[in-house]
Structure 1
Amino acid sequence: MDVPGTMRAVRIAEHGGPEVLQPAEVAVPELRAGEVLVRVAAVALNNTDLWTREGAYGRPGDPKALSGWRGPIGFPRIQGADVAGRVVAVGSGADESLVGRRVVVDPAIYDSEGPDANPVGLMGSERDGGYAEYVTAPAERVHDVTESPLTDDQLATLPTAYGTALGMIERGRLREGETVLVSGASGGVGIALIQIARARGARVLAISSGSKIDVVREAGAHDVVDRARDVVEQIRAAAPEGIDVALDVVAGDLVGEGLPLLREGGRWVVAGALGGYDVTFDVRRLYLHNAQVIGSAMHTPAHFALLMDLARQGRIRPVIAATFPLDQAAEAQEELALRGHVGKIVMRP
Structure 2
Amino acid sequence: MTTEAADSSSAEIVTHSATSIPAHMAAVLLTGHGGLDRLEYRTDVPVPTARSGEVLVNVRAAGVNNTDINTRVGWYSKSVNSGTSDGLDTSDAESVVSSGDSSDAPWSGASLAFPRIQGADVCGVIMAVGGGIAPARIGERVLLRSMAPVRDVDESLVPFEFTTLGAERDGGFAQFVVADSVDAIAVDSDWSDVELGSIPCASSTAENMLRRAQVGAERVLITGASGGVGSALVQLASRRGAEVIAVCSAAKSDAVRELGASRVVDRDGDLLTELGSNSIDVVADLVAGPQWPGLLDVLRPGGRYVTSGAIAGPITELDVRSLYLKDLSLLGATYQPPHVFTDLVGYVERDEIRPIVATTLPLSEIADAQREFMSKRHVGKIVLVPPPVP
Is the shorter-chain TM-score for this pair beyond 0.5, marking a shared fold? yes
| Partner residue in 1 for 2:289 | 252
Q: Which moved more, 1:301-310 or 1:79-88?
A: 301-310
* Identical columns (%): 41
The answer on 1:14 being equivalent to 2:38 is no
TM-score (norm 1): 0.94
| Partner residue in 1 for 2:76 | 57
Q: C-alpha separation between the residues in 2 aligned to 1:171 and 1:254?
A: 23
Among 60, 63, 79, the alignment partner of 1:41 is 60
Q: Which moved more, 1:277-286 or 1:39-48?
A: 277-286
Letter in 2 for 1:139: S
Letter in 2 for 1:154: E
Q: Which moved more, 1:64-73 or 1:107-116?
A: 107-116
| Partner residue in 2 for 1:187 | 227
Q: What 5-or-longer segments of structure 2 have no aligned partner?
A: 1-18, 82-99
The answer on 1:163 being equivalent to 2:204 is yes
Q: Which moved more, 1:250-259 or 1:1-10?
A: 250-259
The answer on 1:322 being equivalent to 2:350 is no
Secondary structure of 2:347's partner?
helix
**Map of 1:199-348 to 2, 5 A cutoff?**
199-236=239-276, 242-297=279-334, 299-348=336-385
TM-score (norm 2): 0.85
Q: C-alpha separation between the residues in 2 aligned to 1:258 and 1:143?
A: 36
**Are the counterparts in 2 of residues 116 and 300 from structure 1 also a CA contact under 8 Å?**
no
Secondary structure of 2:62's partner?
strand
Secondary structure of 1:211's partner?
helix
| Partner residue in 1 for 2:13 | none
Deviations 1:6-62 (A, max 9, x none): 101010111111111101121100111000000000000000010111111115x88
Secondary structure of 1:305's partner?
helix
Report the alpha carbon displacement of residue 200 of structure 1 after superposing the two structures with TM.
0.5
**Are the counterparts in 2 of residues 119 and 300 from structure 1 also a CA contact under 8 Å?**
no
The answer on 1:139 being equivalent to 2:178 is no
Letter in 1 for 2:289: G
Q: C-alpha separation between the residues in 1 aligned to 2:370 and 2:311?
A: 16
**Are the counterparts in 2 of residues 69 and 126 from structure 1 also a CA contact under 8 Å?**
no
Q: C-alpha separation between the residues in 1 aligned to 2:355 and 2:48?
A: 30
**Are the counterparts in 2 of residues 12 and 53 from structure 1 also a CA contact under 8 Å?**
yes
Q: C-alpha separation between the residues in 2 aligned to 1:161 and 1:186?
A: 12
Q: C-alpha separation between the residues in 1 aligned to 2:166 and 2:370?
A: 14
Q: C-alpha separation between the residues in 2 aligned to 1:52 and 1:171?
A: 24
Report the alpha carbon displacement of residue 156 of structure 1 after superposing the two structures with TM.
1.2
Number of aligned residue pairs: give it: 343
Letter in 1 for 2:74: G
Q: C-alpha separation between the residues in 2 aligned to 1:152 and 1:76?
A: 27
Secondary structure of 1:118's partner?
strand
In structure 2, do the counterparts of structure 1 residues 281 and 73 end up closer, same or farther at CA, with 3 Å as the change threshold?
same
Q: C-alpha separation between the residues in 2 aligned to 1:206 and 1:298?
A: 24
Report the alpha carbon displacement of residue 306 of structure 1 after superposing the two structures with TM.
0.8
Q: What 5-or-longer segments of structure 1 have no aligned partner?
A: none
**Are the counterparts in 2 of residues 160 and 298 from structure 1 also a CA contact under 8 Å?**
no
Secondary structure of 1:78's partner?
coil
Letter in 2 for 1:225: V
Letter in 1 for 2:163: G
In structure 2, do the counterparts of structure 1 residues 318 and 65 end up closer, same or farther at CA, with 3 Å as the change threshold?
farther
**Are the counterparts in 1 of residues 271 and 294 from structure 2 also a CA contact under 8 Å?**
no
Q: C-alpha separation between the residues in 1 aligned to 2:173 and 2:258?
A: 31
| Partner residue in 1 for 2:46 | 27
Among 87, 93, 106, the alignment partner of 1:68 is 106
Report the alpha carbon displacement of residue 115 of structure 1 after superposing the two structures with TM.
7.0
Q: C-alpha separation between the residues in 2 aligned to 1:169 and 1:69?
A: 21
